[in-house]
Amino acid sequence: MSGNCISAHQDLNPDTNRPVLLYSHENHQIYWLGIPEHTAFRSNTYLLKSGDQALLFDPGHRAYFGRVHERVKQIIDPDQISGLVLCHQDPDVAASIVDWLQINPSLPILTTPRAHILLPYYGNGEYNWHDITAKPSFSFANGHRVQFIEAPFLHFAGAFASYDEKSSFLFSGDIWAAIQLDWRLVVDNFRIHLQDLDLFHLDYMASNIACRGFVEKLKPLHIDAILPQHGSIIDTSDVAAALAYLETLRCGTDILYPQLKV
């Protein structure tokens, strides 16, 4: 498959024993690294390969490190990974940092200062790190670039998303995450999917101000797909609806303190 559209995967029941190619153009590919997790809180891990380098997004918790590592090996030598992108510090996103550092102690960790403070509590605080707040982009040797977009309090104070300029894909972390019993790789009915988004966002996201502030940052970007850390991927045709959902969402403190008007 080539180009920016992943709608060909909407009816796919993916084989979780191998990576699923989401995007490919020239020497630039994005993969979903499926794991056989049959829970409503299913986690997604993604690999962005560009030339002879790669970034691993949200590598996940320790129980699935072996499987994720095996999926990576099917695509690229793990030693060629240029960094782990950790959108925040929660265990379902980041706990396997200790396993990755065990096999490659020089592997860079790309995250925010707030997450960096907490990551050593997994058992290894000796690592190279890229501060995405001070340096809000990463460039591959071939010139392709990933932008990092801070998303404070969605749901962590130091959360951020990553935008791949080549594919126009947004790795959104917990933003647009969904809790789903009836999971599919790509959303096929966004109206129904709203219920799955609500199950996560109403409780976990801080407020409408936090949501609107993040959407405002995204407006200059052309986004062809949204790749969250939980639940189904949002394809091109539903991106506008996803942005509108977040922009108008009342959540968190809006619900807890409805008497307080902002």
pTM value is 0.93
For 15-73, what is each residue's pLDDT tens digit? 777 899 999 999 999 999 987 677 777 889 999 999 999 999 999 989 889 999 999 99
Maximum distance among all alpha carbons in the chain? 55
Q: Identify whether the C-beta of residue 93 lies closer than 8 Å to the C-beta of residue 60.
A: yes
Tokens 């959104």 appear where?
Answer: 172
For 75-131, what is each residue's pLDDT tens digit? 999 988 999 999 999 998 899 999 999 999 999 999 999 999 999 999 998 999 999
What is the pLDDT confidence band of residue 12, given thresholds at 50, 70 and 90? low
* DSSP 8-state class, residue 111: E
| Total Cβ atoms within 10 A of residue 53 | 17
14-134+145-256: CATH topology is Metallo-beta-lactamase; Chain A (3.60.15)
Give the model's pLDDT for residue 6: 56
For 220-259, what is each residue's pLDDT tens digit? 999 999 999 999 999 999 999 999 999 999 999 999 998 8
The Cα–Cα gap between 42 and 54 comes to 23
What is the pLDDT confidence band of residue 181, given thresholds at 50, 70 and 90? confident
C-alpha to C-alpha distances, 176 to 36, 70, 108, 141, 214, nearest whole angstrom: 21, 27, 26, 31, 12
Cis amide linkage into residue 38, ω under 30° from 0:
no
The Cα–Cα gap between 11 and 211 comes to 30
Give the model's pLDDT for residue 2: 40
